[in-house]
Amino acid sequence: MRLLVAFILFFPIALTANEYQQELITVSGNVSEADTGLPIIGASILQQGTTKGVMTDFDGNYSIDVPQDAVLVFSYIGFAKQTVNVDSRTEIDVFMVVEASELDEVVVVGYGTQTKESVVGSISQVTGADLMQSGGVSTVGQALTGRLPGVTTVSSTGRPGDESPQIFIRGQSSWNGGGQPLILVDGIERSMNDIDSGDIESLSVLKDASATAVFGVKGANGVILITTKRGKEGKAQLSLTASSAIKTLSRIPEKYDSYNSLMVANEAIERTVPVREEAWRNYTPVDIIEKYRNPANDLERSIYPDVDWVDVMQKDFATDYRLNFSVAGGTKSVKYFGALSYQHVGDIFDAGSFNNGRDYTPNFNYDRFNYRSNIDFDITPTTRLSVNLSGYYGLQNSNQADPQLLYSSIYSLAPNLYTPIYEDGTYGRAITENFELSNPAVILTAKGFTKNHRVQVNSDFVLDQKLDFLLKGLSFTGRLSYDNNFRGGGGVVEENPGGMDNVVYKIYDQDGSAQLVSPVGTNQFDFVLNPWERNGLTIQDWETSRRLFYQLSFNYNRTFAEKHNTTILMLMNREEYAIGSMFPRYREDWVARATYNYDGRYFIDVNGAYNGSEKYGPGYKFELFPSVALGWMVSNEPFMESATWLDKFKIRGSYGVVGDDSAGERWAYLSQWSSGGSAFMNNVSPYGTRSPYTFRMESIIGNPNLQWETSEKANIGFELSVLKNSLSLEVDLFKEDRHDIIVPADSRSVPSFFGFQPADFNIGETTVEGIEISLDYKKQLTQNWDVWSNFAFTKARDEIIYKEDPLLKQSYQKEEGFAIGQPRVNIRGDMLQSWDDVYGATPQENSQETRRPGYYDEIDYNGDGVVNSDDAVPFGYTVRPQNTYNLTLGTGYKNFSFMVQFYGVNNATKNFTDRTFMLETPLFFEYKSDYWSVDNPDGEEVLPAWLGTGGGTDPYRNWYDASFVRLKNIELAYTFKTGKGSSYKVYVSGNDLAYWSDLPDDRQDNTGSTASEYRGDYPTFKRYNIGLNINF
């Protein structure tokens, strides 16, 4: 017994003595954030199994004396705990990863923030750091593509300064206003595409009614909330990001060269001659065609050109640059974030390769300078004043002429028309002058250019006051914002002497003779180049806009008995907006929201907005838009405690009403009158004496009952996380019923004898329904190696319920029952292989005499014995894809990180009208090469007739399946981290590097400001990017 007591008393002492007999070493290092490289102040370092520990200092450094075989535990609130074996090392740096718990993670919602655990609405959020991993794209809209479920983007142009895509949140539910969401930057309605991505802290997308109803009449199409970065207490942290991207053409339609296109043109002429003998005039003998392929000398090369217009007019690549410098930090009383950035978006067209004889070189470059200053002053422990100043200066270059004539070099010009510019400085021109065949080299280099100046100045003043002395948990916020946007123009203006271009054209005939064409000289002298005029900056007052916004709100947030959390928001704001000389537009909102959370298990969110707009008449100026959402955190129930594998299971649902007032004209509720003109007094002559009395007329019939469109939205979803949050699943089912949609006057169905254009009317109805799925996986395989992935799928299908279609119109030609913007074409039958097939086919109403083998039969859908437009039926889908897919894979090993993102869509259709044989020119494209002929009876394409002869040909000719899969983003990075809190990240990345689709070009739509269904638009790009980020 004595031995046992002695053992118990002296064994701990022996252990301690043994420990101190071990050799101690000093271990030091730095603890910093893995994502940013910023030092973590006050992190705990504890020797495992003991109470011995230290904390990091202001620079994140530490030092501790431990045995050589000790184990150190690093921890800090909000970050995942790390355990590290010392293994006799004397220097150990640790990079801590954020541990996003439900209780700590903050989600930005309408007019505030909530913990992710308590969110019962459908909200998706992405960080600014994620947006930066987008391969060097120039706008936030491009970076957002594929990032979040429920968000669909549709791009149409790659023009510098205009690359912003259309954005649809859960489809489109109205034919008015384009279906674009409300975008708020730091709480104010602003454009997001002129913000530098490096200034963004987070971006939230609000999708269901419970999330958007607080925005009332502006929330029907969804809401995007962008929060910019702010300072934190601590040492000043400097950050410098520099990147450079090389961009090359993604996909454009490939043309035949001169030889092959002329041979195909001859074949088309031979097929056309039986019905149009005059087509022979365009037939080219084979020996002449051979000269285009093998010219004997320079003269023949000029007479018989073979121009690769893309190669001549464009560079092999263009370059973009981006530089962002920021500083953040603060004390207990002042916290600050400031940033300056510059972005250059380069032009792919190569004006510099032409000697235009002028002292200017036009381009389509876009340069932008951004600034931002966010400062928080803690005037007292309960009072904070925030001052935000931001803006940008952008300079977008363009040319004076129609830019579509420049894009025609890609889409519309045959290779044999003329040489762009000759060695003597004269320009080529087609023998027959035609606007559509304008020389793109002249359009690019000799028509002047414009400099479009954009200036934006934003200012926010926000006062936050805690009112705990009145009621614990109560606070007040007041905001005043004033934004100004200025537009200006300048550049070089070229004269058009005598209505002609200010150049000399050289035209070669087939016999080799050259003709010079130029404007007539002054006083019968020879023509000389007219001087061009440089215009300085002129402010375009009609595009200058201003927005005054102020907001007052009371917030109450309190937890009772540690289980009952209640929040209440009461808010009002007013806005005054004007552009140019318009009468200011006014808007007023009153908002209320109440939430209740019991013990992290049961949640309720009730909110609403009472909106006022001067756009509608008495009785319709104000409307209430309410919503309610419920949530149940099943995994927090006591009966789920035994399910240790289950980390989270939440069920949530919402229902509410939101509005949209973007449709219709201002003051359309009032009838409007105009005056002008008078009657003729002489009945004999139609041009006799006029009456002295001026006509007075009702030019617009007002509708006093006009009001906003209203959407009822319902959403049910669940969130599931298992296996220590390594696997997460989120599913949402949604439905929207929109009614009172305005049918514009020019779309109303009224008989012609009405004699007047009717009023706009709230009569339309649509519905949208769909599903969102998001699946995430993350795993820390070893101490130095982690992997993660995300898969997201969205399906959104819209349908028109009612749009006042004519009652007697065939159901398949009504818009009701089909998607908004549903294409309609005749149904393609079999290929007509012989004249027997032609004679046996249903006749065409127009140009039946021109039908021939090699055309498609068309189905007489209505059975009236003739094929015409009455047989057109719904075809394919709209240009907005119904289904979107996103797969992102990533891994990190020590200081290396790798990410790759694939993005795809399907159930989408695009109209792409090519210009084969345009204006009797031998223009032909590679993607049309599999055309029917006697030698190729299985060909699926139709060789068009020469001279534009009709006959039906192929009803599907210009319609394409717009489904695609693209390698959206890829990034490989290496981060160097020092022991003093500094980090250096080097990365290479790419955007849209691979593209799999049946589309002839890489443009999803024709909605750009200079786009056309057949002339195309500025091409889109692949980007290869290299960058450096330094934090110190």
Amino acid 902: pLDDT: 96
C-alpha–C-alpha distance, residues 141 and 551, integer Å: 28
Q: How many CB atoms lie within 10 A of CB 692?
A: 8
Q: What angle do CA 406, 411, 417 make, to 5 degrees?
A: 80
Residues 157 and 217 in one domain: yes
Residues 208 and 172 in one domain: yes
HEC string of 187-227 equals CEECCCCCCCHHHEEEEEEECCHHHHHHHHHHCCCCEEEEE
Report the length, in residues, of the chain: 1032
Residues 114 and 91 in one domain: no
Name the phi and psi angles at 980, rounded to 5: -115, 20
Asked if the structure places residue 375 within a domain, the reply is no
Cβ atoms of residues 780 and 787 within 8 Å: no
Residues 138 and 86 in one domain: no
Nearest to 513 by CA among 437, 438, 432, 431: 431
Element (H or E) spanning 573, and its range?
A: strand 564-579
Query: How many structural domains is the chain composed of?
Result: 2
Residues 92 and 134 in one domain: no
Residues 89 and 141 in one domain: no
Q: Indicate the residue among 230, 253, 271 that finishes a domain.
A: 230
Cβ atoms of residues 72 and 81 within 8 Å: no
C-alpha–C-alpha distance, residues 880 and 877, integer Å: 8
Asked if the structure places residue 161 within a domain, the reply is yes
Amino acid 981: pLDDT: 67
pLDDT at 6 over 60: no
Residues 45 and 143 in one domain: no
CATH number at residue 126: 2.170.130.10
C-alpha–C-alpha distance, residues 664 and 706, integer Å: 9
pLDDT band at 10 (very low <50, low <70, confident <90, very high): very low
C-alpha–C-alpha distance, residues 470 and 558, integer Å: 13
C-alpha–C-alpha distance, residues 141 and 253, integer Å: 26
Element (H or E) spanning 12, and its range?
A: helix 2-21
CATH number at residue 73: 2.60.40.10
What is the DSSP secondary structure assignment for residue 638, as one 8-state letter?
A: G
Asked if the structure places residue 310 within a domain, the reply is no
Q: For 290-339, how does the pLDDT look when each residue is reduced to its tens digit (9 = 90+)?
A: 999 999 998 889 999 999 999 999 999 999 999 999 999 999 999 999 99
Residues 31 and 7 in one domain: yes
Asked if the structure places residue 766 within a domain, the reply is no
pLDDT at 575 over 60: yes
Element (H or E) spanning 14, and its range?
A: helix 2-21
Q: What angle do CA 761, 762, 766 make, to 5 degrees?
A: 130
pLDDT at 2 over 60: no
Name the phi and psi angles at 742, rounded to 5: -75, 125
Q: For 880-938, how does the pLDDT look when each residue is reduced to its tens digit (9 = 90+)?
A: 999 999 999 999 998 899 999 999 999 999 988 888 998 899 999 999 999 999 999 99
Q: Indicate the residue among 230, 251, 284 that finishes a domain.
A: 230
Q: For 583-634, how does the pLDDT look when each residue is reduced to its tens digit (9 = 90+)?
A: 999 989 999 999 999 999 999 999 999 988 888 888 888 889 999 999 999 9
Residues 46 and 7 in one domain: yes
End-to-end CA distance of the chain: 64
Q: For 380-399, how does the pLDDT look when each residue is reduced to its tens digit (9 = 90+)?
A: 999 999 999 999 999 999 98
Nearest to 487 by CA among 521, 450, 445: 450
pLDDT at 471 over 80: yes
Amino acid 949: pLDDT: 64
Amino acid 1011: pLDDT: 54
pLDDT at 31 over 70: yes
Amino acid 15: pLDDT: 41
pLDDT band at 1 (very low <50, low <70, confident <90, very high): very low
Residues 91 and 115 in one domain: no
Beta pairing, strands 94-96 & 24-33: parallel
Residues 128 and 223 in one domain: yes
Asked if the structure places residue 157 within a domain, the reply is yes
Asked if the structure places residue 39 within a domain, the reply is yes
Nearest to 439 by CA among 354, 352, 521: 354
Asked if the structure places residue 144 within a domain, the reply is yes
Asked if the structure places residue 762 within a domain, the reply is no
Q: For 801-857, how does the pLDDT look when each residue is reduced to its tens digit (9 = 90+)?
A: 999 999 889 999 999 999 999 999 999 999 999 999 999 999 998 888 888 999 999
What is the extent of the structural domain holding 209? 106-230
Query: What is the pLDDT averaged over residues 397-402?
Result: 88
Residues 116 and 44 in one domain: no
